[in-house]
Structures are given as C-alpha cells and as structure tokens.
Amino acid sequence: MNYFITLTLNGLASGAAYAALALSLVIIYQATRLVNFAQPALALLSVYTAYTVTQLTGSYWLGFAAALTTGLLVGAFVERVIVRPIARTSQLNAIIVTLGLLLVVQGAVGMIWGNEQHGFRYAFSYVGRFSPADVFSLVAVGVVALLLFGLYRFTPLGLRMRAAAFHPEAARLSGVKVGLMLTAGWGIASLIGALAGMLAGPPFISPNVFDVVFVFGITAAVVGGLDNPFGAVIGGLLIGLGMSYVSGFVGPELATLTALAIVVIVLSVRPDGILSRPTARKV
Amino acid sequence: MNAQTLPGAAGNGASPDAEPILAVENLSASYGAVRALDNVSLAVPAQGLCAVLGANGAGKTTLLRTLTGLHRASSGRVLLEGEDITRLPTEKVITRGLAHVPEGGGVIVELTVEENLRLGGLWRSDRRSSTTFDEVMDLFPPLVERRTKTASTLSGGERQMLAIGRALMGRPRVLLLDEPSLGLAPLVTKQIFTLLRDLRDRIGLTVVLVEQNAAGALSVTEHGYVLNQGSVAAEGPSDGLLADDRTRHAYLGF
C-alpha cells in the first residue's frame, strides 16, 4: 500500500510537468487551432537562459525568474514576428514553421551552449521517492493552473482573450484588439512551457532534453482534449500516473508504451479527448 | 451610374439642413474580382432610423462590414460625425461610436450572458460602465434571469437581444444591425423593431437596419435605401418606398 502511494505521488509529480507542457500547447491551440511544435524549443531556450543566469549569479531563483521571463518574451516574439505573417497565408504553413523553428532553436542552443550535457543545480533535493523537488513540481503547476483559471475567468484581460479565441470577429466588434490577445496568449503559453522545462529538465540539460517530455506533453494534451485547459491538466496527471504505476508494478521498460496505450484507450472511448468541446463550453 | 441611380442624393432630401451623423460617399468594395459594392452613397441623419433593403447578394451585409472595417473599401469614404473612419481597424471604429450587430448577432455562445455584455463595454474602462450594464439589463428582462448561463442556452430572440445589448454597452452613437429578424418569429421581430424605435427616442441612438423583411423594416424606419447588385437602386422616405409599387415589385418582392 505504501508503495502504491509512493508511486501515485511520483506519478503526479512527473505528470505535473507534462500537464504544464500540455497547458502551453492547449492555450495556443484553443486560440489559433495551431499545434505549436516549437514549444519545447522555447522551453529549451528559457531553461538554458536560466542555466546561464544561475551560473553567473549563483541563485537558482534568479535563473527561475529569467526562464519564465524568457518564455513570456520569446513566445510573444515568435507569434508576432514569425507565426502571424505566415498564418495569414495558411494554417498548415504556420504549423510547419513551428516545426522548423524547433530544429533551428535546438541547433542554435547546441552552438551557443554546446551539445554535451550540463549539470543544472536544482533548488530542491530530487533524491528519493516523492522528493522535495517532486512536491515543488506539483505545487508550482497547481498554482499556475489556478492563476491561469483566475486570469481567464475573472479578469478583463482573460475575458478579452477568451472572446478573441472563441469568436475573433465578435471580439473585434466589441473593441478587442484580437492580434494583441493572440500575442499575449503565446506569451503566457510559453511562460508555462518554460515552467514545464524548469521542472522536467534538471538535473541534466542538453539540446534534446525535452524531446521525450514533449511527446508526453502532447499526448497529455490530446488525451485531455486539445482545446480544454482542464483536460490538459487531467491528461498530464493521467499520463504521469499511468507511467508511474506500470513502471513500478510491471517494469520501467513498458512506461513509454503505457502513454501510447492511454492514448488509444481514451481516444477510442472519447475521440475528442476526455473533456471535449461541449464540456469546455460549460466551464 | 451614380448620378442615375441616386436622384437627389447630392442634395439629400431627408434632412436638408443637419449634417448627417453617418455619411457614406461613393463607397466601393470587392471580393476578388467580384464587385460587391459599387459607388454607394448614403446619408444618415442623427437620431434617424434608416433601412437598407435588397435581395440576397445585393451588398447589404458587405456594406455594413465595410463601414466597420471588417471588409476593406476599395474606394470611397465613410464619415462618422464628420471624421473619416474608412481605413480604421474595426476595434478603433467601435470606439468612435459606431456599433455593429452582425448577421445572427455574433453572440459568443461559450461565454455567459453577463460576460457577453461586459465584453461590449470593456474598451470604455470608465466608471459609467456599470451603470450601462444595469441600464442594458433593464432593457432586456429575459436576460436578467439568464445572466450566469452561457449564451448557448438562449433562444434566437434572446440572442438577438443580447447582441444588441452588447453593442449598447459601448454607448454607441450609431447602431448597425444586420438582419435582426433572421430566423425569428414575427412577434419577436416586431418587439425588436419597436425596441429600436424606443432606443432612438430614449437615448438618441441612430439606427441603420439591414433587412430582407422589407415591409417590416420600412414600417419602423423613416428613410430607406434599396440596394441592387451593389448599388443604390432607389431611396426615399420609408412610407414612399412602401407605397411605390414599381420599387416594391422590382426589388423588394412584395
């Protein structure tokens, strides 16, 4: 029983990072119907920035703040300067461009910081089952999810952002600057992506450190329902739990297969994800 | 072309003295190679109720969309209270006092009734915003009890009310309405038309009403324009258009 609880807590902790990454994908998909394949690249850039800041200042938390700031700014920049001009011609082009951006940024990070692994000091101990680092992961993602919910639900900015996402023309006719809302959405999404990176990356970072995490993140987003933020969180935790149970009770070599199995099972029952569109309208 | 189809437009018989609050001068717009608006000119006096009529594809919706910048004008000008707003982006046009309720209302069904209304007044960001909210709620009693429900639960008539309410939240000077009667029962349509007249009388709103329901629209407005294939085919006082058999048969189909 004790073992089961440990596995559960572990699963939730690793699921938290997937949930955060899934959230960052869903926020953008919801607003633009675009899967942002560049998300792990933006997280990568943020985490390496944090690495350098931490090295220079010796403070993990300055690095942490730098990561989130970098995510916010780079996300907004990518939307405004790279994605938007291309999305005007075709949505598919924009998706391909985000994929290209992923490769370019990964390459650039390798050129700047080197392709070898760097040890990234962590603020909390990550040894043992359900370590302080795990607790921090869960709490950080929980707080971010709540803040995001509050932002969308209760602030004028959130109302504008939702209006722009659901019905851009009606939003414009209500005086909303839809383009600005898109930029803000990308910024916030990439900030959360950077958080996911800070949770999933250390203790070792390298240009390809997020490849696997991203696969689980996007899996979580699809499982939860691509246009539902709550679904993203549920999907992330579900993937984390499933992989933790299977690797604990059956064997770690089957963990990745578990994620695939969850996708197949969930989508065969609910093809649009756990929280599909009709539910999303109620929240 | 313009001179033939717009007899007396230069002098504007409707309101000879007052400067129109909304003036459209030789406005043209296209969809690719298709010309949807061809040299359309209108003059809407302040606190006027004006109908724009015509068959499907006559250019009515394009006219409204071009006025609020949702569609780009290829030539011509739109003047609101003497200010040229032709090239302004939609969200700026709205803040100048020109509101537009699109076809079907454009209510955001994912948001609650209250959120839809608040959205319409967000750009004002002044203290009066909450008084406007209460005033709008007073206008539409059916919306009060649905306040926290999503707009998807509303009937067609209620959605139209919500759409008008949202537009009013911005305290516009001129309200453009695109076929508010579409899909509504005759009684509900009549309520909405009556409401428009009330709004003019009570808060001095100017209304431009685009309709296929020509008889209904002409009975509530003072002045009417008939569009045909993108140009103004006839215009005049509403009762005159209603009585003129030739216009009625040729363009209005009743």
Please report the domains of chain B, with CATH numbers, ordered by start residue.
Answer: 2-104+173-252 (3.40.50.300)
Q: How confident is the model at residue B127 (pLDDT cuts 50, 70, 90)?
A: low
Q: pLDDT digit string (tens) for A163-184? A: 999 999 999 999 999 999 999 9
CB contact under 8 A, A172 and B120: no
Euclidean distance between CA atoms B252 and A41, whole angstroms: 60
Q: What is the pLDDT of residue B24?
A: 94
Instruction: Report how far residue A260's alpha carbon sits from residue A216's, in angstroms, rounded to the nearest whole number.
Output: 9
* Structure tokens that stand for B36 in this block: 């949807």
Percent of all residues in chain B with a pLDDT value above 90, rounded to a whole number: 64
Q: Which of A275, A270, A269, A255 is nearest to A11 (CA)?
A: A255
Chain A residues within an 8 Å CB radius of B107:
170
* Helix, coil or strand: residue B237: strand
Query: Do the chains contact at B122 and A176, CB–CB below 8 Å?
Result: yes
Asked whether residue A2 is domain-assigned, the answer is no
Return d(Cα B66, Cα B41) in angstroms, integer: 13
Question: pLDDT digit string (tens) for B45-100?
Answer: 999 999 999 888 889 999 999 999 999 999 999 999 999 999 999 999 999 999 99
**pLDDT at res. B78:** 95
Query: What was the ipTM of the complex prediction?
Result: 0.87
Comparing C-alpha atoms, which of A281, A71, A84, A272 is closest to residue A188?
Answer: A71
The Cα of B189 is separated from the nearest Cα of chain A by a number of Å equal to 22
- Which chain A residues contact residue B94 at CB under 8 A? 172-175
B8 pLDDT above the threshold of 60: no
**Which residues in chain A have Cβ-Cβ distances shorter than 8 Å to B119?**
159-160, 163, 171, 174, 176
Residue B64 touches chain A, beta carbons under 8 Å: no
- Inter-chain contact B122–A172, Cβ cutoff 8 Å? no
Read off the pLDDT of each residue in B205-229 and give the average, rounded to a whole number. Answer: 92
pLDDT at A87: 84
Closest-CA residue to A174 (of B99, B150, B81, B140): B99
Residue ranges in chain A modelled with pLDDT below 50: 279-283
* Per-residue pLDDT at B16: 47
Per-residue pLDDT of B143-181, as tens digits, reads: 999 999 999 999 888 999 999 999 999 999 999 999 999
d(CA B215, CA B127): 41
Sorted by sequence, the CB contacts under 8 Å of residue A201 that are 6+ apart come out as: A43, A47, A120, A209, A210
User: From CA B68, how far away is CA B49, in angstroms rounded?
Assistant: 18
Tokens of residue A141, six digits: 């993602």
Q: Do A163 and B108 make contact, defined as CB atoms within 8 angstroms?
A: yes
Q: Give me the DSSP letters along A196-212.
A: HHHHHSTTEE-TTTTHH
Q: What is the mean pLDDT of residues B234-246?
A: 87
Of A174, A178, A281, the CB nearest to B166: A174
Separation between Cα atoms, residue B7 and residue A277, nearest integer Å = 54
**Cross-chain Cβ contact A159/B123 below 8 Å:** no
Residue B129, pLDDT score: 65
**Selected residues 145-164 of chain B with any CB under 8 Å from a CB in chain A:** 150, 152
Q: Answer whether B123 sits within 8 Å of A176, measured CB to CB.
A: yes
Look at residues A22, A60, A68 and name the one whose alpha carbon lies nearest to residue A42. A68
Establish if A243 belongs to a structural domain. yes
Give the Cα separation of A50 and A194 in Å (integer): 10
B65 at the A interface (CB within 8 A)? no
Whether chain B has a CB inside 8 Å of the CB on A271: the answer is: no
What is the reported pLDDT for A234? 92
**Does residue A1 belong to any structural domain of this protein?**
no
pLDDT band at B4 (very low <50, low <70, confident <90, very high): very low
Q: According to the model, what pLDDT value does residue A271 have? A: 79
Instruction: Name B100's bridge partners.
Output: B176
How far A140 CA lies from chain B's nearest CA (Å)? Answer: 28
Which two three-digit tokens encode residue A86? 């291309």
CB of A189 within 8 A of CB of A24? Answer: yes
Please indicate whether, in this complex, the C-beta atoms of A172 and B123 are within 8 angstroms of each other: no
Q: Which of chain A's residues have a Cβ under 8 Å away from the Cβ of B101? A: 173
- In B112-131, the residues whose Cβ lies within 8 Å of chain A are 115, 118-120, 122-123
CATH number assigned to the domain comprising residue A254:
1.10.3470
For chain B, count helices (H), then strands (E). 11, 10
Residues of A in contact with B99 (CB under 8 A): 173
Q: Is the residue at A126 inside a domain?
A: no
Domain count, chain A: 1
For residue A52, the enclosing domain spans 7-121+137-280
Q: How large is the average pLDDT for residues B226-230? A: 92
* Rounded-to-integer distance, Cα B208 and Cα B49, Å: 6
- Residues B30-47: tens digit of each pLDDT: 998 888 999 999 999 999
Give the Å distances, CA to CA, from B166 to A275, B27, B63, B94, B124: 29, 28, 21, 12, 13
